[in-house]
Amino acid sequence: MKKFYYFSKSKLKFVEIRNFYKKFVFLVLFASILVSFFLFGTYLVFNEFINPDSEVKALKRSNALLKEKFETLLVQYKSLDERIANLTEKSHDLRLAVNLESRDTEEIYGVGGALFTPLKSNNPQDLFSLAEDLESYLNKISLKVKLEKNNYEEIENTLKQNEILYSAIPAIRPTYGSVLDDFGMRVHPILRIRRMHNGIDIITDVGTNVYAPGSGKVEFVGRRGGYGLTVEINHGFGYKTIYAHLSKINVKEGQSISRGELIALTGNSGSLSTGPHLHYEVRHNGIPLNPRNFIYDDVELFEIVKK
């Protein structure tokens, strides 16, 4: 490695410079830092002299960009709010369709009127206020989304329940024939006393097919006093149907059935039967109802029965 010397006047001789390269690098770095500070300081002074408002202008540019972003977010939030409002209107109709009570959305959401006023300046305080408004607005939209999600889940669950109800509820004529004796008070043809007739009598030949008017579970099969050979079906939701004076039963207790499934054949069994017919009852929570209200005349039996 090359060595460097300097002449010492006190010693009157050349003396070797130790660690020359380290000292040289340090000196160069030190000089560079001094020059950089000098140049940067000169630039700041010169820039402040030439452009005294440069920092203010930079802040204004930043505020303008921030304002633009806020206004873009505002447009997006308003668009989202409008879509949620459309969903709310549709959910209102859906709630009515599935027999749910309508909701007062203004009372639930607590959102109404103009939430924002257009910004006319880039003032930091105005921007800060807008940011707070946007955050509040976002929280309200989030609440709307959560409530609508719960609302649609309620509608979905109700629809599923309604599907089960509609498939279970008695809705067709259980057999072919004409109705002779209707629901209500009458003079009994055998007992000759005035008493309540809890169903309807459908006149038909012995051996005519009897079909389930709705899905359910067979709750009783057997003979029941003056009713003779009887089938009772529990349809759920408080509904039960009774079929009396049968000649043959095609189902067993505990068996699940669906609407249109063959359950029995008509007959003339039982001490209170005056001839071949089907005695048909519909009950809800134990209370007899008029079966005619559960027969849709525009639906033909052959369209429903299981082959």
Task: Give pLDDT, residue 87.
Answer: 72
Residues 6+ apart with CB under 8 A from 20: 3, 4
The rounded distance, in Å, linking the Cα atoms of 4 and 17 is 6
Note whether 163 and 203 are same-domain residues.
no
Task: Give pLDDT, residue 111.
Answer: 47
Maximal C-alpha separation, the chain? 158
CA angle 77/80/84 to nearest 5° reads 135
Task: Give pLDDT, residue 1.
Answer: 53
Q: What is the pTM of this model?
A: 0.56
Residues 6+ apart with CB under 8 A from 53: none
Number of domains in the chain: 3
The rounded distance, in Å, linking the Cα atoms of 221 and 232 is 7
Task: Give pLDDT, residue 31.
Answer: 72
Helices 54-97 and 124-168, interaxial angle, to 10°?
Answer: 20
**Single residue among 99, 134, 168 that ends a domain in this structure:** 168
Note whether 210 and 291 are same-domain residues.
yes
Task: Give pLDDT, residue 263.
Answer: 96
Per-residue model confidence as pLDDT tens digits over 18-52: 655 566 666 667 677 777 766 766 766 655 555 55
Residues 6+ apart with CB under 8 A from 63: 122, 123, 124, 127
**Tell me, what amino acid is at 78?**
K
Task: Give pLDDT, residue 23.
Answer: 62
List, for the chain, all residue ranges whose pLDDT scores fall below the cut of 50. 107, 111-114
Note whether 234 and 140 are same-domain residues.
no
Helix (H) or strand (E) run with residue 8 in it:
strand 5-8
- In a domain? residue 34: yes
Q: How far is CA 307 from CA 91, 211, 247, 278, 302, in A?
A: 39, 11, 21, 21, 9
- In a domain? residue 173: no
Domain CATH number, residue 293: 2.70.70.10
Domain of 278, in residue numbers: 178-304
3-state secondary structure of 207: coil
Q: Around 183, how many Cα atoms within 13 Å sit in the side-chain half-sphere? A: 14
Residues 6+ apart with CB under 8 A from 278: 174, 175, 177, 201, 202, 204, 208, 210, 243, 244, 245, 246, 266
Q: Which ranges of the chain does DSSP label H, i.e. alpha helix?
A: 20-50, 54-97, 105-109, 124-168, 301-304
Contact 206, 267 (CB under 8 A): yes
Helix (H) or strand (E) run with residue 244 in it:
strand 239-249
Task: Give pLDDT, residue 205.
Answer: 92
Note whether 104 and 164 are same-domain residues.
yes
105-130: string of b/e by CB count within 10 Å (b at 16+)? beeebebeeeeeeebeebeeebbeeb
Note whether 134 and 66 are same-domain residues.
yes
Task: Give pLDDT, residue 78.
Answer: 74
Note whether 191 and 296 are same-domain residues.
yes
* Residue found by looking up tokens 């039996």 in the block: 301
Note whether 188 and 298 are same-domain residues.
yes
Structure tokens at 170: 């008695």
